[in-house]
Each structure stands twice: as structure tokens, then as C-alpha cells.
């Protein structure tokens, strides 16, 4: 069953998923990422689907049938962009 589309993504949830994947050197198991980010599974699926559509992350199914996720260059760039933005705010107080 496919997840219902996301209308307005929550900035913090997107950043949480991006950051967790950014920390990993290798593709991460989908279920492992869901636990690590502590996001409700249905919500998580919708975000993964949305981020996959936007080419922020890559969803692969390995030979053992498990789904694994990794960050695309576009995802890396998006996360870098967000981090630079918050740094600007913090430093200009």
C-alpha cells in the first residue's frame, strides 16, 4: 500500500531524516532509520516517499529483500543548505 502524498513537509522531520542519513557512510536499513529518527512509521513512509520523489534520497532493495536508504548528492546539498542557514541566524544574534 503506497503512502498518502505529503502536502506540506515539516522542516524538522525532513532535517532529522537528512541528518541521520548524512551521518552514515553506507546505505541504512529503512526500519533502522525509522527507529533512529523516532518518527511514527506511517509518517515516516510518507516522508521517505516525498524525499524520494524530490531525489533527496535513494531507495534501494537489496538482494536479501530489505529496503535501504542513502542520501543523494542533492540530499547532501539540501542538508548543507539548511545547516548554513541556521548557522547564519545563530551567529548574527
Partner 1 sequence: MMSSWVFWTERKTILKAYIAGTLVVLLSAVPLWLFAYSETGFLGSLAVRGFWWISCFVLLILYFLAWFGLPRVESSPGASLRALAHMMRVMKYSVDEAPKWIDIRVDKLTQVKVRARGAAGGTRIEYQVGATPVGATFIVVMFLIFPPASAIASLFIFGSAFRFVDTKVAPRLAGLPAVVSAPMDVKATLIDSLSEGHRLAQEASESVKSNYEDLIIIILVSGIAFFFGGFLAAWWLQPPDMASSDWSRVPVAVGAMAMLAFTLPSLWRARSRHKKAIGRFERSVSLLGGALASETSSLQPPDGFPSSFEIIAGAWDEVPSWLAARRRAGMFRHPSIWTAIVVFAYSGFLLLVAGIAELLYPGIDYQTAGVIVALGSVMVVSTMLLYFRWSRDQKLESERIVGDWRRRVEILRSEMEKYLQGL
- Per CB under 8 A, residues contacting partner 1 are 8-9, 11-12, 14-16, 19-20, 22-23, 35-38, 54, 56, 74, 78-93
CB atoms < 10 A from the CB of 78, how many? 21
Query: 2 or 12, CB closer to partner 1?
Result: 12
3-state secondary structure of 69: strand
CA distance 69 to 74: 14
Query: 61 or 73, CB closer to partner 1?
Result: 73
In the bound complex, what is the minimum distance in angstroms from residue 10's beta carbon to partner 1?
Answer: 9
Amino acid at each position: 500500500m503506497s503512502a498518502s502524498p505529503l502536502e506540506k513537509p515539516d522542516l524538522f522531520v525532513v532535517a532529522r531524516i537528512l541528518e541521520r542519513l548524512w551521518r552514515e557512510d553506507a546505505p541504512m536499513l529503512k526500519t533502522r532509520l525509522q527507529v533512529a529518527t523516532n518518527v511514527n512509521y506511517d509518517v515516516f513512509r510518507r516522508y521517505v516517499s516525498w524525499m524520494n520523489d524530490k531525489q533527496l534520497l535513494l531507495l534501494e532493495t537489496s538482494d536479501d529483500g530489505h529496503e535501504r536508504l542513502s542520501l543523494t548528492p542533492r540530499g547532501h546539498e539540501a542538508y548543507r543548505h539548511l545547516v548554513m542557514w541556521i548557522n547564519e541566524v545563530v551567529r548574527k544574534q
